[in-house]
Structures are given as C-alpha cells and as structure tokens.
Amino acid sequence: MAKDDNGGDNGGGDNDPPLGAPAPGAPPADAPPQRRKSDRDEAKPRYLDPGDTVFSLWRRVLLARYRRLAAAATRHIIQRPLHIGISARIFHPEPGATGLRSRNLQYLEESVAQWVMSRDVLVFMVPTVNTEGLLHPSNIRLRDYARHLDGLVLQGGADVSPQSYAEAPTRPEWGGDRARDMYELELLHEFVEAGKPVLGICRGCQLINVAFGGTLFQDIASDLPEALRHVNDEYDRNRHAVAFPPGSSLERLFRDRPRGLVNSIHHQAVKTLGRDMQVEALSVPDQVIEAIRYRKAPFVMGLQWHPEFHRAGGVELLDCTPILDNFLRVARETRF
C-alpha cells in the first residue's frame, strides 16, 4: 500500500485507476448521455404491436364496443317476448237492462287470446279511446298502441255495417256495429301506417277489405243462393274445403296441401276486392272468397274462417299454426 510523505495511507493500491479516471464499466467521458425511460414507456404493455398507432388502437376499441352493443341488441330482439294487440269486441247496453248489461263492455274471446299466446307472446286487448270523456279524459290515441305493440289481431264478432262501405242494410238485422267499425278501421290504419303486421279473423277479414275500399255480400244465402251454407246451428262444426290460388302466399305456405278443411261461421263475405288486395283462398266448390292479403304491406291478411278453433297439428282441419308463425315472424322483423 502506498504511503504519503507523512507515512499515511493515501487509499490507493497497485490496481487502482489513476485519480480522475472513469470507474470500471462506466461509459466513456465523451459518450452521449443515455435517455431515461419515460413514465409513458414504462406504462405501455409489451404485448402491444410496436407498429400500433393511436388511431389503429382506437379503431379496434370502437369496433369491439360496436360488436358488444350489437350482440346485446340482438339478444334483446330475440329474447324479448312479442307484444300483440287484439281488438276488443264491444257489448252495447241493452234497453231496459240492469247491472253489467246496462254498461258498455269490451272483451276478448278466450280462444283467440289462447291461440296467439300458444307461441309464447304477450297479448294485450286494445280498448277504444275517448279523448273527450267527461269523467276521465286522456291524451292516449290508438296511434300510441300501434307504436308500442308489435302486431294486431282483429277478432270476429258482429257484422260490419253496410254504412262503412257506402250501402244501406237490406234488412234491419244486418245493420252491423258502426261504432266498432270506426274504432277498428282507425286501429287498422294506424298499424298499417306504422309498418306493423295485421291478421284479421272472420269479421276482421271483412273489415280489412272494407278498409281499402272493398264491399261485402250482406248475406250469402240471399245474394248467392247457389253457394254452400256458410253458417248454421252447428257453429264451428260447420265445415267446407278451401283451395289456395296459384301464386298466393298461402299456396307457398301450404305447398304440400293444395286444399284444406276449415270451419265456416259467417253469413257475410267479400264481394268486390279492395284496392291492392289479392285473393289467398277460395271456398270449394262455390268460389266464395275465404282469405285475402293486402299486397303493399309486409303482412296484412284476413282469414274468413276461425283458425283459433283448429287444433295445432291436427290432421282433419287445416293446421293454421304456420299462418300465425308467419305473422309473428314479421312482427319481430318490424318491431323497431
């Protein structure tokens, strides 16, 4: 160990670098200073592509968000039950009656509601609206039902009034229900304008034809004496065959069955077709119109028979479940 002039230890050794020399492993004195890693470099994950830019990263983030929202919306469309409205039958007060029979009543026939609900949809009866009611005025319109429901079924019931197609009743008992006509005609047009599907049953079929300018035979037996008996005391057990004209949607739907047996519970029928109407079924052999379709809408169809009285999967009467399913598929496609 080296000693200084006074005999002290100067801390140096044989292998020690000269004073002022750089320490071993240190960069040369003339080397450029090293850049310290910034906090941003420290935070950037090493799994990212070195070629990524801010724009490419944001593009992928937004695309992933879009896919997630689209998947959620698709699940909502598929899983949320359809909301189907059914027009109300109307009971008018009877003269001199007491209790319920002295009141206006609106109701559904159970079989119609059960038939529609058989496909796991929610059913709502659509009541008439009275915006000028003295007791309970409301701003609700039939248009609001068309906006919030996914489809409409017009159920059977009283005759369509000849006044609704600019005729006078040939017999007093064929005067029909003009009040119900006005309510259902407005309801029908609101759903058609909203692009929602409509299925008319019996009276509903006749109303669809009248809504687009068509007319009716007021009584088949009187106006078409050579025709079959389309109504009698057997009610829904009165039956006849129907044929589907070539090119009709029902012919395509029942491709393996050119004819079908249906119930017959009506004394009125379509006479002249409304505008843009197409015949979908004819009674055999008298050629009375039994089903119609409005060509300028996704689905507006009328059936003169009562499909709700036909057993699903039945082999005797025509199984009308495919018609219901077609109606509901269009309701899902047009629900937004």
Domain holding 223: CATH number? 3.40.50.880
Residue 83's pLDDT is 97
Provide the annotated active-site residues: 202, 306, 308
Contact, 90 vs 179, CB < 8 A? Answer: yes
Residue 305, in any domain of the structure? yes
Residue 38's pLDDT is 53
Residue 43, in any domain of the structure? no
Residue 98, in any domain of the structure? yes
Residue 161, in any domain of the structure? yes
Residue 113's pLDDT is 97
CB atoms within 10 A of CB 74: 10
Residue 106: closest CA among 121, 123, 120, 125: 125
Report the alpha-carbon distance of residue 317 to residue 307 in Å, rounded: 9
Q: Which domain holds residue 187?
A: 75-333
Residue 18, in any domain of the structure? no
Residue 170, in any domain of the structure? yes
Residue 5's pLDDT is 53
Contact, 203 vs 159, CB < 8 A? Answer: yes
Residue 63, in any domain of the structure? no
SS3 199: strand
Residue 222, in any domain of the structure? yes
CB atoms within 10 A of CB 179: 14
State which residues of the chain have pLDDT below 70: 1-44, 75-78, 133-134
Domain count, the chain: 1
Residue 134's pLDDT is 63
Residue 43's pLDDT is 64
